[in-house]
A = this chain, B = another copy of it.
Amino acid sequence: MARTAENGTAERILDVAEALVQSRGFNGFSYADVAQELSISKAALHYHFAGKAELGEALVDRYAARFSAALTVVDRDEHDAPAKLHAYARLYADVFKDDRMCLCGMLAADYATLPDPMRDRVVRFFDDNERWLARVLDAGRSKGTLKFHGSARSVARTLVGGLEGAMLVARPYGDVRRFRTAASLLIDGLAVD
């Protein structure tokens, strides 16, 4: 595989940084936090990621790639639109652990303070999600398994916002059920009677 040894460390840095950003926000964690958690020096972090901005970019890239891969799996495993939507909501619910919320939802809150390259990536994440959802919604309406008013794109945006917001508000209560109930209501509202 000719894989260099540094790969392990970079991944572990991303793992720790990701958890920190998801729970504390981009301005709520430091290189020192990551270094301490991994028992390495701050300087070592700078070897793998030039600065916080570059670490942030890598964070969103990896998160978006994983999410995209998960959507591909959903497309492969679920064949009707309602099932795809429930699987989609489950992806969000899986994120909701250890005080975490969606990485990009958190970064949307931090948006005003983010460097441009990170901003672009966050917007692209939402765009990709909306596109995927709009496709599922359109297919469901055509097949008669879903019904809704307005454009598929509008409903897709409402769903993304609704799920992100459900995580945001559920987190202070530390209660996953709060998220799941909201997610179910959002999606069941699209079911045919």
The interface of chain A, by Cβ under 8 A from chain B, is 23-25, 27-28, 99, 101, 105-106, 108-113, 119, 122-123, 126, 149-150, 154-155, 157-158, 160-173, 178, 181-182, 185-186, 188-189
From B99, B150, B163, contact of A112 by CB (8 A): B99
Q: A27-B28, A161-B162 are in contact. Are A108 and B172 (CB under 8 A)?
A: yes
B25 touches A149 (CB 8 A): no
Q: How many copies does the complex hold?
A: 2
From B27, B155, B165, B188, contact of A164 by CB (8 A): B165
Residues of B near A108 (CB, < 8 A) are 168-169, 171-172
25 contacts between A and B (CB under 8 A): A23-B112, A25-B25, A25-B109, A25-B112, A27-B28, A105-B168, A108-B168, A108-B172, A123-B173, A126-B169, A149-B185, A149-B188, A157-B166, A157-B169, A158-B166, A158-B182, A158-B185, A158-B186, A160-B169, A161-B169, A161-B170, A162-B165, A164-B168, A165-B166, A165-B167
